[in-house]
Chains A and B, each alone.
Chain A
Amino acid sequence: MIDPLVLSAILIGGLIILLAIGAPVSIAIGLPSAVCMLLLAGFDNGATTSVQQMFRGANSFALLAIPFFVLAGAIMNTGGIAARLINLARVLVGRTPAALMHSNVIANAIFGTVSGSAVATAAAVGSTMTPMLRKEGYNPAMAAAVNVSSAPAGMLIPPSNTLIVYSLAAGGTSIGALFVAGYIPGLLWALACTVTVFFYARRHPELKGTPFPGWTVFFTTVLRALPSLGLIVVAIGGIIAGFFTPTEGSAIAVVYALALSMIYGTVKLRDIPGILFDACRTSSIVIFLIAVSSIMGYVMTYARLPQLIAETLFGWTDSKVVVLLIMMLVLLVIGIPLDPTPALLIFVPIFLPIAVSYGVDPIHFGIMMVFNLSIAVISPPSAPVLFVGTQVAKVRLEPVIAKMVPFLLLLVAMLFVVVFVPELSMWLPRLLGLAN
């Protein structure tokens, strides 16, 4: 019998040391877990139990939605769909001051409805917007900050691969319900960025909007964007309405995106192997993390680590507000070095049971966790969206970080609104009968 404290020390200490020397995150989670298994079950059984857990973790039909949404996003990235959506955003908000920045925020939100990943959004919209912004004399660092800050709206607006990972880590919270719940917080995210741009435009009166292009242009632009938006109706609508599972919906999204890009002529048959390969490699890393985290989950349950952490962190209080505040602070800090997928895989099993015991709905809790971790993906130093956003805008990191401060402050304020006003997440799923 091994002291749970020893196991906890191995898991946490091993994770920190391995991350510090730059080992892959999956190994930083997996190796200490395998060592604990060895101590618990002996050399042979430790190895085979680890294998069984890995297989159990990866061998899931629901997980298949992740590579398919990645693939659909990759097809649309090369398929010129981003440009159509940006044009749609421009005719919608073209007359406001600093119109291109507002268009960027709106385009990111709209692109979020067809893509499951914030990085893909920042790359697709940012690379199309940057030349336009440069030409009209916008400050490049501020422009990049707008793009980076608004891209994670897509992690909340369905389809969202992050919400699928949460659903798995939470033991099967309905993906359809989570998807619906993400709409309002995702729009609030975009709103926070719009407000910041609004005040920026007030201080920069030289950034004017463009006159309304006329109804003909308006309607043709909307019409040209409609087929891309049809993806939401078909795939996401089908998932929400329960016509098909998230995995089936994601497969339909792939077929739809492929057919559309073929019709547009932007994706050639010979591009397909490359797109398949990229999507496969990207999603494999996520799946491997999930498989390896199953070993950790097994050890954590055995070592009663969730209860141990709960007692240490929350033992001194029984106020729901204080407990949720501590959780959000922990996630904000942990989320900066750790990416959303591993952060969810580690912290959902620890935090969710406590939150549920305080009467928080797992759907609402998922939205607040993903909102929180979405802030982390744009917070330096280890911020994937920030890196991609500055790369496509061809600007240095430091000036962009300075411009992002007001966005980050407002988004953190918005996080607390999302945490303490559950109706923002729960109203839509309840309305559609997906939650009680």
Chain B
Amino acid sequence: MTTFRAWLDRVLRVLCVVLFAALVLLVVWQVFTRLVLNDPSAWSEEAARYTFVWVSLIGVAIAIGEKADVVMDFLVEKLPVALQRVADILAYLSVFAFVGYVMIYGGIKQSAMAWTQTNPLLPFTQGQLYLALPIAGVLIAFYLVLHISHALSPAYKGREGFHEDLEAATA
């Protein structure tokens, strides 16, 4: 499990960097075609928007995996460890509920509904583009299982690591 996790972390990290670099290039290309060539490229804007959705959802899976999502924990920190454990597990289950119902269930349904609907500018169907949600959902669910099993294990020492991503908080 831990080796699979280490492998997954690495794959997602590489994917995130590659897609983000592609995103920068797409928008730079967009600016170049509009300002220099005077002939704005329509597909690059569309491609940038969808790349952005994909890279953001993968980024969120990574952030939840690293417990770097924005949370307020100054209340929970003051509780005794036993209650911190309960609060932590409830918090993970709430993420699970959202991810399971909206991102995985709703994402698959929406993707199936739009599976054959073509996109005029990109070589993918709308349904394929919607797959970002269920894929990110499954990744988040995997990390949640790890977090919950840690919270249930004797190694649990109270809420740690669950820190704010400080720059995101004031973006």
A residues contacting B by CB (< 8 A) are: 18-28, 30-31, 34, 38, 44, 46-48, 50-52, 54-55, 58-61, 63-64, 66-68, 70-71, 116-120, 152, 155, 161-162, 165, 243-244, 247-248, 251-252, 254-255, 273, 276-277, 279-289, 291, 295, 337-342, 377, 381-382, 384-385, 387-388
Q: If the complex has contacts A251-B27, A280-B59, A282-B171, are A55 and B76 also in contact, measured as CB distance less than 8 A?
A: no
For the complex formed, measure the closest distance between the CB of B68 and the CB atoms of chain A, giving whole angstroms. 7
| CB neighbours of B164 from chain A (8 A) | 384, 387
Residue B98 interfacial (CB < 8 Å): yes
For the complex formed, measure the closest distance between the CB of A237 and the CB atoms of chain B, giving whole angstroms. 14
| CB neighbours of A119 from chain B (8 A) | 166-167, 169-170
For the complex formed, measure the closest distance between the CB of B94 and the CB atoms of chain A, giving whole angstroms. 5
| CB neighbours of A60 from chain B (8 A) | 49
A48 and B98 contacting across the interface, CB-CB below 8 Å: no
Distance, CA A117 to CA B164, complexed state (A): 15
Distance, CA A67 to CA B28, complexed state (A): 14
B102 and A26 contacting across the interface, CB-CB below 8 Å: no
A341 and B98 contacting across the interface, CB-CB below 8 Å: no
Distance, CA A214 to CA B82, complexed state (A): 64
Which of these, B30, B50, B75, B107, contacts A59 with CB under 8 Å? B50
Residue B56 interfacial (CB < 8 Å): yes
Residue B141 interfacial (CB < 8 Å): no
Please list 13 pairs of residues, one from A and one from B, whose beta carbons are closer than 8 Å in the complex, sorted by A's number: A22-B71, A22-B73, A22-B75, A26-B60, A28-B94, A31-B98, A47-B105, A61-B45, A248-B31, A277-B13, A283-B168, A285-B60, A286-B168
- Output the residue of A55, A273, A281 with the most chain B CB within 10 A: A281
Which B residues from 23 to 74 make CB contacts under 8 A with A?
Answer: 23-24, 27-28, 30-31, 34-35, 45, 48-50, 52-53, 55-60, 62-64, 66, 68-74
Residue B135 interfacial (CB < 8 Å): no
Which B residues from 65 to 99 make CB contacts under 8 A with A?
Answer: 66, 68-76, 87-88, 90-91, 94-95, 97-98
| CB neighbours of A281 from chain B (8 A) | 16, 59, 62-63, 66, 68, 165
Which B residues from 120 to 171 make CB contacts under 8 A with A?
Answer: 130, 133, 159, 162, 164-171
For the complex formed, measure the closest distance between the CB of A85 and the CB atoms of chain B, giving whole angstroms. 19
Q: If the complex has contacts A44-B109, A282-B167, A285-B70, are A22 and B76 also in contact, measured as CB distance less than 8 A?
A: yes
- Output the residue of B13, B66, B113 with the most chain A CB within 10 A: B13
Which of these, A118, A254, A284, A295, contacts B170 with CB under 8 Å? A118
B171 and A341 contacting across the interface, CB-CB below 8 Å: yes
Please give 19 more A-B residue pairs, beta carbons under 8 A apart, in addition to A24-B71, A377-B170: A24-B69, A26-B70, A44-B109, A59-B53, A64-B23, A64-B52, A68-B24, A71-B20, A116-B171, A117-B170, A244-B31, A284-B56, A284-B58, A286-B168, A287-B56, A337-B72, A341-B171, A381-B74, A384-B164
| CB neighbours of A19 from chain B (8 A) | 72
| CB neighbours of A21 from chain B (8 A) | 76, 87, 90-91, 94
A120 and B48 contacting across the interface, CB-CB below 8 Å: no
Q: If the complex has contacts A31-B94, A117-B170, A276-B21, are A25 and B70 also in contact, measured as CB distance less than 8 A?
A: yes
B27 and A68 contacting across the interface, CB-CB below 8 Å: yes
Which of these, B21, B52, B58, contacts A63 with CB under 8 Å? B52
A251 and B31 contacting across the interface, CB-CB below 8 Å: yes
B residues contacting A by CB (< 8 A) are: 13, 16-17, 20-21, 23-24, 27-28, 30-31, 34-35, 45, 48-50, 52-53, 55-60, 62-64, 66, 68-76, 87-88, 90-91, 94-95, 97-98, 101-103, 105-107, 109-110, 113, 130, 133, 159, 162, 164-171
- Output the residue of B68, B97, B165, B171 with the most chain A CB within 10 A: B171
Distance, CA A244 to CA B32, complexed state (A): 11
| CB neighbours of B30 from chain A (8 A) | 248, 251
For the complex formed, measure the closest distance between the CB of B87 and the CB atoms of chain A, giving whole angstroms. 4
A23 and B71 contacting across the interface, CB-CB below 8 Å: yes
Chain B residue at minimum C-beta to C-beta distance from A341: B171
B72 and A273 contacting across the interface, CB-CB below 8 Å: no
B20 and A31 contacting across the interface, CB-CB below 8 Å: no
Chain B residue at minimum C-beta to C-beta distance from A284: B59
B20 and A120 contacting across the interface, CB-CB below 8 Å: no
B98 and A30 contacting across the interface, CB-CB below 8 Å: yes
Q: Say what secondary structure dominates the interface of chain A.
A: helix
| CB neighbours of A63 from chain B (8 A) | 52
A255 and B28 contacting across the interface, CB-CB below 8 Å: yes
A23 and B166 contacting across the interface, CB-CB below 8 Å: no
Q: If the complex has contacts A51-B107, A280-B16, A281-B68, are A66 and B171 also in contact, measured as CB distance less than 8 A?
A: yes
A27 and B98 contacting across the interface, CB-CB below 8 Å: yes
For the complex formed, measure the closest distance between the CB of B163 and the CB atoms of chain A, giving whole angstroms. 9
A340 and B55 contacting across the interface, CB-CB below 8 Å: no
| CB neighbours of A25 from chain B (8 A) | 69-72
B52 and A22 contacting across the interface, CB-CB below 8 Å: no
Q: If the complex has contacts A22-B71, A25-B70, are A244 and B35 also in contact, measured as CB distance less than 8 A?
A: yes
Distance, CA A19 to CA B58, complexed state (A): 24
Q: If the complex has contacts A31-B97, A251-B31, A341-B171, are A50 and B68 also in contact, measured as CB distance less than 8 A?
A: no
| CB neighbours of B130 from chain A (8 A) | 51, 55
For the complex formed, measure the closest distance between the CB of A20 and the CB atoms of chain B, giving whole angstroms. 6
A117 and B52 contacting across the interface, CB-CB below 8 Å: no
For the complex formed, measure the closest distance between the CB of A77 and the CB atoms of chain B, giving whole angstroms. 10
Which of these, A47, A155, A243, A247, contacts B101 with CB under 8 Å? A47
B133 and A54 contacting across the interface, CB-CB below 8 Å: yes
Distance, CA A117 to CA B168, complexed state (A): 9
For the complex formed, measure the closest distance between the CB of B114 and the CB atoms of chain A, giving whole angstroms. 10
